[in-house]
Structure 1
Amino acid sequence: MKQLLTIIIFLIHFGNSYAQDSVTYQPNQIRDFKIVPLPAIGSNPANGWLFGVAPSATWRMGNPEDTHLSNLVGNFLYTTKKQWIFSARSNIFLSEDKWILWGDWRYFITSQPTFGLGSDAPNAPTENPNQTGVLWGEQQMDFSWFRFYEAVLKRISDSKFYLGIGYHLDIYSKIENFLDTETGPSELRFSHDYYNAQLGFNEDRYTLSGITINGLYENRDVAVSPYEKNFALVSYKINPTFLGSDKTSSTLLLDYRHYFNLSEKRKRHLIGVWGLGNFLVSGDLPYMSLPAIGYDTFGRGGRGYAQGRFRGETMVYAETEYRFPLQKEKETFGGTVFINASSFGSKMTQEKLLENINAAYGVGLRVMINKENRTTITADYGFGKKGNSGFYLNVNETF
């Protein structure tokens, strides 16, 4: 009889018609699981239009009163630029938020333009005034990229602070640079090849492998689409050769996000602020592992520019977004306006951080397809400097 009752409660739960006071929450038991197996249509300047499947899942590993929603977002995509993109990114909160597990797995067969180092590179290819015989401006690259990131963080007492470690691996391979000889000087060296040759990296394949030491403050209500409070991350990466890196190096990542409510009745009416810093601390990084615009975990930064449009040994980025509902009572439709700015420094080109700043602005539409876990389709158009612009179609908020 007890077994039968357990089965009945289980079935009623997944039918979303159970009474809350009848539920017994077991630690780290998956509950409230929901998956949205979306057929994916996306767009951004680096990939063009993307088609495929982008499943998004949310669930809880404990009592909703003290356990955040966990989420996983996958992508199985083909693009109009003949790219294949496979990825899975997860943010898992165990019971009572005592532990957080992060995952970022990727395999890309892809292409992307690069423009050289720093914040002042032009759109059209030309000779770099700071590097004789080296291209500056748009240069195309084909490459494959494998990534495996996993981290585990432990909550400190009953606070919102976490400490933890992780492992990260990036392998770039089959790298080929090319240039339309009708639009640029073909006798000059590619920025990627010149940089790697100067620092002793291979030009067609390299590896970055190491550990991360992470400190986190997690105070958002829902990670995928926050309405309030804040988030902070400090992540120090150590990339030793004995773990597989081509050269020893270390980097520091700083990430802070804050959400200011403008209405207690409509918490979707808010201002979000995002600040990001990424710095090479010691050693040398291969070209594609340098800090670059749009290379945050979900590739959402720098709307108004293509991913990888700016790159350097040091980077700072800031963004402000005003989010608001478009309906008086319902939460289905929303809108946003945003502005962002970035700056990059490079010792190789002798450009100092904040010497040049690239700003962008834009507007967006939001369609909430699941109100309980706030799964949202986002469509944005951004405008940058020097004629740069882009359309961005994604799942969940930018930050």
Structure 2
Amino acid sequence: MYRILIVLFLVFSLYSASAQNIILKDTIINDSKDSIPSYSHLYDISDGFKDISRFIRRDTSKKIIKKRSGISILPNINYNPSIGFQIGAKVVGGLYLGDPSKTTMSTFATALSYTTRGIIFGYLAHDTYTKQNKWNIKGGLVVAKMVALDYGMGMGNSISSTSLEESVLNNPERTRFVNEYTVYSLNERLYKNLLPGMFVGAGIFIELKRNIHTLGNPDTTPLSVYSNLTGYHPEKYNNNGLMINWQYMTRDNPNSAYKGIYADIVLRMSQTWMGSAQNALQLQTDFRKYWSLSKTRPNHVLAFWHWGSYSVDGKLAYLDLPGTGRDTYSRSGRGYTNGYFKGNSFFYSEVEYRFPILRNQFLSGVVFANIQTANDRLGTKLFERWEPAAGTGLRILFNKATRTNLCIDYALGRFGQRGLFLGLNEAF
């Protein structure tokens, strides 16, 4: 099955390579030579597609290089144990709103996809930088029918004696439940640049969850138990509020960084006066550091990632609890399905070594290991119990200008958890 998925994934990617354009504004292409990165020594899927086409046509004529479009249309294909196999379409684009040497590229993306687990997901996202990075506006809109695998709360530790409800919620046997719901989400954040690389800002989030239920209609589930214990409606609720944000960024590329730092700290404040079901405060942290280990081959990289979410006050609804794969792009915790571990507070760290296989960077590889911990309602504290995972993967250069890779990873965790993870761009 996995081999079939890989072949299908690569075939669709090759087919879309002709439509995958370098996301650069025309003014950059017309700029001075010093401002134009050199990619002539690199080889990506688009180059391979062109070479195959030339070989078939035996066309040796020289073509006039046309200006590259800032918009790309490509298949939105993915696979991991949480969502199954995903297929859909994605439109991405980018442009500079100021001098490229002083302004970060502004990007947008929209996609619609369907997965074999019955998930239907549509979104519109943007990340806009004004001239000289004075302001950064980012956010997005999501409408989706979600199907989420559920293994209870906490870290799966055994319990000696407690109530039936708490036993179901803790789920030491790691019995799998499947929750289905519809979500409508909107968030927007505005950042002001204060110092080089440093931004502060605020934002708003509106999240409406409806038609919540557990497939199979079991009498008692972790979702129903937690909702009864915390006073949340088991079938629908709102989570609306405000955000205060601090961000620091010096990494050289968001898709596959060779060096630099990315840090983001967010205080999320769910507010009943804004329509939220309950008041709650959650502090989220995201820190990434990259070290290039070679001057001649800079994609020899050691990368570190930390993601955490900590309860400051109040209680979140069950579907909003932080846990495995609950980061912004659902990339944490390779080796486990999304939400396999979760709690009111959650801590995650990962280290990854990235290395080239071919000198033209068409093929490269990674090895990685991660560890995570969460608290529970039975007295297990954060940092008291840890669960590890590890794996390895192959990278195929999809777009050399944006350092976009096709990522194929295989990872192993505990409790029999393991799986193949496919996607575009690095996990972090």
TM-score of the two chains, using structure 1 as the length reference: 0.86
SS at match of 2:226: helix
Partner of 1:233: 264
- Cα deviation per residue 1:134-156 (whole Å; 9 max; x = unaligned)? 52231111111222111010000
Partner of 1:59: 95
Counterparts of 1:107-186 in structure 2, within 5 Å, are 107-120=143-156, 130-133=162-165, 134-135=167-168, 136=171, 137-156=175-194, 158-179=195-216
In angstroms, what is the RMSD of aligned CA positions? 2.3
Q: Quick check: 1:170–1:209 contact (8 Å CA) kept in 2?
A: yes
Matched, 1:18 2:48: no
Q: CA, structure 1 residues 88+358, in 2 after alignment: closer, same or farther (shift >3 Å)?
A: farther
More strand by share: 1
Q: Quick check: 1:58–1:373 contact (8 Å CA) kept in 2?
A: no
Match of 2:383 among 354, 357, 361: 354
Q: CA, structure 1 residues 88+298, in 2 after alignment: closer, same or farther (shift >3 Å)?
A: farther
Aligned equivalents of 1:196 and 1:145: distance in 2?
17
Q: Quick check: 1:117–1:349 contact (8 Å CA) kept in 2?
A: no
Q: CA, structure 1 residues 130+271, in 2 after alignment: closer, same or farther (shift >3 Å)?
A: farther
- Cα deviation per residue 1:104-151 (whole Å; 9 max; x = unaligned)? 3222212112111101269xxxx9954414522311111112221110
Q: Quick check: 1:115–1:121 contact (8 Å CA) kept in 2?
A: no
Aligned equivalents of 2:255 and 2:121: distance in 1?
21
More helix by share: 2
Aligned equivalents of 1:305 and 1:345: distance in 2?
18
Partner of 1:195: 226
Please report how far the alpha carbon of residue 17 of structure 1 lies from its aligned counterpart in structure 2 after TM superposition: 5.7
Partner of 1:291: 322
SS at match of 2:132: helix
Please report how far the alpha carbon of residue 16 of structure 1 lies from its aligned counterpart in structure 2 after TM superposition: 7.7
Q: CA, structure 1 residues 226+52, in 2 after alignment: closer, same or farther (shift >3 Å)?
A: same
Match of 2:375 among 345, 351, 359: 345
Partner of 1:37: 73
Q: CA, structure 1 residues 16+355, in 2 after alignment: closer, same or farther (shift >3 Å)?
A: closer
SS at match of 2:164: coil
Aligned equivalents of 2:249 and 2:72: distance in 1?
25
Q: Which has the higher contact order (CA 8 A, sep 6+)?
A: 2
SS at match of 1:361: strand
Between 1:201-210 and 1:86-95, the stretch displaced more is: 86-95
Q: CA, structure 1 residues 179+17, in 2 after alignment: closer, same or farther (shift >3 Å)?
A: closer
Please report how far the alpha carbon of residue 84 of structure 1 lies from its aligned counterpart in structure 2 after TM superposition: 0.5
SS at match of 1:259: strand
Aligned equivalents of 1:243 and 1:350: distance in 2?
32
Q: CA, structure 1 residues 32+250, in 2 after alignment: closer, same or farther (shift >3 Å)?
A: farther
Q: CA, structure 1 residues 395+36, in 2 after alignment: closer, same or farther (shift >3 Å)?
A: farther
SS at match of 1:43: strand
Q: Quick check: 1:33–1:60 contact (8 Å CA) kept in 2?
A: no
Unaligned segments of structure 1, at least 5 residues = 1-12, 24-30, 181-185
Aligned equivalents of 1:375 and 1:145: distance in 2?
29
Partner of 1:4: none
Matched, 1:215 2:285: no
Please report how far the alpha carbon of residue 70 of structure 1 lies from its aligned counterpart in structure 2 after TM superposition: 2.7
Q: Which amino acid aligns with 2:381?
A: K
Aligned equivalents of 2:33 and 2:114: distance in 1?
46
Q: Quick check: 2:28–2:100 contact (8 Å CA) kept in 1?
A: no
Q: How many aligned residue pairs are there?
A: 367
Between 1:331-340 and 1:86-95, the stretch displaced more is: 86-95
Partner of 2:415: 386
Q: Quick check: 1:220–1:230 contact (8 Å CA) kept in 2?
A: yes
Aligned equivalents of 1:201 and 1:48: distance in 2?
29
- Cα deviation per residue 1:226-282 (whole Å; 9 max; x = unaligned)? 111101111111111001110111110111100011011222110110011101110
Aligned equivalents of 2:68 and 2:246: distance in 1?
29
Aligned equivalents of 2:151 and 2:320: distance in 1?
15
Match of 1:324 among 341, 345, 355: 355
Q: CA, structure 1 residues 97+17, in 2 after alignment: closer, same or farther (shift >3 Å)?
A: closer
Matched, 1:94 2:130: yes
SS at match of 2:415: helix
Partner of 2:305: 274
Aligned equivalents of 1:21 and 1:338: distance in 2?
38
SS at match of 2:76: strand
Unaligned segments of structure 2, at least 5 residues = 1-24, 36-66
Q: Quick check: 1:93–1:99 contact (8 Å CA) kept in 2?
A: yes
